[in-house]
Structure 1
Amino acid sequence: MTLEEVRRQIDAIDSQLVPLFCRRMDCSREVAKIKERENLPIFNAQREEEILNRVAQEAGEYGDAARMLYASIMQASRALQHGALHSGKELRRQIQTAGKPILSEKKPVVACPGVAGSFSHQAAMRLYPGSKAAFYPVFEDVFSAVDRDEADFGVIPVENSSAGSVSDVYDLLLRYRFSIVGAAHLSIRHFLCASENASLKTVKQVYSHPQALSQCSLKIKAHGLKPVNYSNTAAAAEMVAMEKNPALAAICSREAAKEYGLNILEENVQNSSANQTRFVAISKALSIPDDADKISLCFSLNHTTGSLYSVLGRFAMLGLNLTKIESRPIPDRKFEHYFEYFFYLDFIGSVRDNKVLDLICALSDELPGFSFLGNYREAE
């Protein structure tokens, strides 16, 4: 046969498959009504596994492909049932009653890691102009300050375009489950700075946060410097200024160098000219602005074949663009041959879209350890 003849056969088969698929979805709608009446769960793992095994066996050499096809059909069926029954009623209520960000006359207190002049401090001032910054030594102290109501918000870095994710922060996000109420990108320009009595010839060691050292690794190597981890870029600048040791330098921002009276030995020492860091603002209270355009979730999964694929397929079905997925081991949940994981996920969308809201609420019913972390505006 010619290619066109084969394609005509495919078109004829598809013309039969589509009506059958629609009939199957109609049956799923009826199943939803019965499950609601009899108070049965929508997701029946045993029933789905039986169907997948049966179709894989019946399809013979095409068994794996048939299994994948039917897994997608059942994802669509479950989504339809969840939408029909308005699943996730408690989460749906929380989202629909969430307030909008309110700027009160009282200046908000924003917790930042490090000291004045840090990049987190700059991000905080961009997100909350005129706010009062409160500084804490490490990331966990920022979360604790928000938890104890010492601060209205916390601003922390979550990922860098050169050095990747800040894993400690993702662990804290998954532990505290605070709401993310804002985010911003900063172009990061690093400066090699030292006290007045130092020069490139005298400097032997350079101090900064591990992320900053990673972002500037090429210049550090080129100058033959020994990198030393420090809690924060601005804190490293403060320490070098206090030590006044010509053998010590810090990698920090221009603002931090000015704040602590350091000389700039070299500008723009980052590996990439397009170096950017993303910061998020956390809060104990959920608020959703009208122009919210990004959603963050976290959840765990049963350790079964295709479980992550099944979840991600639900986003693909709605044409939603995933911008971040991060996996972190669950503490104290290691089995003989594998770890169990929490997943953190960002995607473009708004809960004002009913299809997006239905998806989030459906996943909250199906997935263990699920949390809706927020729907917020991503400020460039």
Structure 2
Amino acid sequence: MDLTDIRARIDEIDDGILSLFCERMGLASAVAEAKRGSGRAVFDPARERDKLARAAAAAPGELEPYVTSLFSLLMSMNKAEQQKVMRAGDPEAPSAVARASYLDVDSPFPTTATVACQGVEGAYSQIAACRLFRVPSITYFSTFEGVFRAVRDGFCDYGVVPIENSSAGSVNAVYDLLAQYRFSIVRSLRLKIDHQLLAKPGTRLADITEVHSHEQAVAQCAGFLERLGCRVRVAPNTAMAAELVARSDRRDVAALSSRACAGLYGLDVLESDVQDTDHNYTRFIVISSQPQVFPGATRTSLMLTVNHEPGSLYRVLERFYALDVNLVKLESRPIPGRDFEFMFYFDLDCPAGSRPLDVLLDALDDVCERCTYFGTYTEVV
């Protein structure tokens, strides 16, 4: 057979595969109805293991891994379709609950609001809040939990908190608070971070023996600090570090902080842009106690707790793949009180109102212990 004949035969086989695949997926409705009538779960691990074992045994040895992957994906897509059928018309279905938080197209993101931030004036959270809201009324709190409590208690409409940095990684305390409070994320921002070394007027770089800043800023400037060869003191916030230096009687201390803090606290910039990489961005999120999905939202965040058994995370990832959902971030955090067990945070490129998002939200129950939908939102860059 020449190449033309081979390709023609492949096309014939593919047509047959497509026809059988459509027929197989069409049976999902009948399977779902039968399971609903008998009260059985969509995921039947014993039958799935048996199916995969029989497929692997029937395949030629060199094709066994491919056959197993193919049938595993087929069953994942079929289970997703069954979940969709079983959830249809259910007002308590995850997709229906999520859609209830969608706002009308004439409900743009607010330009003014009461906003809670951690730190003091000049903090990067304040800079982020002023980028996210045109005229925010900002109240400052000393801790991230203070921000969450202010939103929970209705003292502020929204909170703005950092969640990850491109070089120093995730802000674990914020992830843990998201799990605890189960707030919604309604917007996010990628903010370019440039750290300055600030000190009292007249101070020389050679005079500095101690530098204060937040632990993330310290991590982002680790190389510079090593070359400087001074003590490092961790502060609750970069702006609070600048405020501490301004109030100190010592002239051998400095702060890693924003340029805005130099003017705010009467400090000089001894060294500019001292972060180790120029590609230094921090993602900030806007949290709300009430679910709100504003028009044009394209990024979705979820938290999943999976069973503590082999393959449990794989089944979740397989479901994303089956629905052609792009995963842009995966973060794990320990589950309090459960040794060596983890919850997982996912950021997905999955727009509000899209069919893949609806099917995904309704198709995760059988592959995880618990799923929390944090919202779908726009990321400002």
TM-score (norm 2): 0.91
Structure 2 counterpart of 1:33: 33
Counterpart of 1:161 (choices 144, 149, 166) is 166
1:189 aligns with 2:194: yes
- Residue 95 of structure 2 corresponds to 92
Q: What letter is aligned with 1:371?
A: T
Paired residues of 2:132 and 2:189 also in contact (CA < 8 A) = yes
Structure 1 gaps of 5+ residues are none
User: Aligned partner of 1:69: which letter?
Assistant: L
1:369 aligns to 2:378 (yes or no):
no
Distance 1:305 1:6, change over 3 A: farther
C-alpha displacement at 1:10, in angstroms?
A: 5.3
Alignment-mate amino acid for residue 204 of structure 1? T
Q: Can you give the 5+ residue segments of structure 2 that lack an aligned partner in the other structure?
A: none
Match of 2:360, as an amino acid? L
Whether contact under 8 Å (1:364, 1:371) holds in the other structure is no
- Conserved 8 A contact 1:192-1:250: yes
Measure the CA separation in 2 of the matches of 1:2 and 1:310.
41
Instruction: Say whether 1:259 aligns with 2:260.
Output: no
CA–CA distance in structure 2, aligned partners of residues 309 and 292 of structure 1: 27
Deviation, 1:145, is 1.9
Structure 1 counterpart SS, 2:122: coil
What number of residue pairs does the alignment pair up?
Answer: 375
Q: Does structure 1 residue 147 correspond to structure 2 residue 152?
A: yes
Question: Does structure 2 retain, via aligned residues, the 8 Å contact 1:236–1:252?
Answer: yes
For residues 294 and 12 of structure 1, the distance between their equivalents in structure 2, rounded to whole angstroms, comes to: 40
Corresponding position of 1:347: 348
RMSD over equivalenced CA pairs, Å: 2.4
Note if 1:22 corresponds to 2:25: no
Residues 260-275 of structure 1 correspond to what in structure 2 (within 5 A)?
Answer: 260-275=265-280
- Tell me if 1:76 matches 2:81: no
Q: Distance in 2 between matches of 1:328 and 1:125?
A: 30
- Which residue, out of 120, 126, 132, partners 1:127? 132
Relative distance call for 1:117 and 1:364 in structure 2 (3 A) is: farther
SS in 2 for 1:131: strand
TM superposition shift of 1:221: 1.8
Distance 2:377 2:190 in 1: 14
Pair 1:327 & 2:328 matched: no
Question: Counterparts of 1:86 and 1:318 in 2: how far apart (Å)?
Answer: 17
Query: Displacement of 1:60 after TM fit?
Result: 5.9
In the TM superposition, what are the counterparts of 1:168-207 in structure 2 within 5 Å?
168-207=173-212
Q: Which residue of 1 aligns with 2:221?
A: 216
Alpha-carbon separation, structure 2, partners of 1:75 and 1:181: 30
Residues in 1 aligned to 2:162 and 2:154: alpha-carbon distance in whole angstroms = 20
- Return the alpha-carbon distance in structure 1 between the equivalents of residues 149 and 214 of structure 2: 21
How much does 1:130 deviate?
A: 1.5
Amino acid at match of 1:252: S
Which of the residues 277, 283, 301 maps onto 1:278? 283
Deviation at residue 319 of structure 1 after TM alignment: 2.7
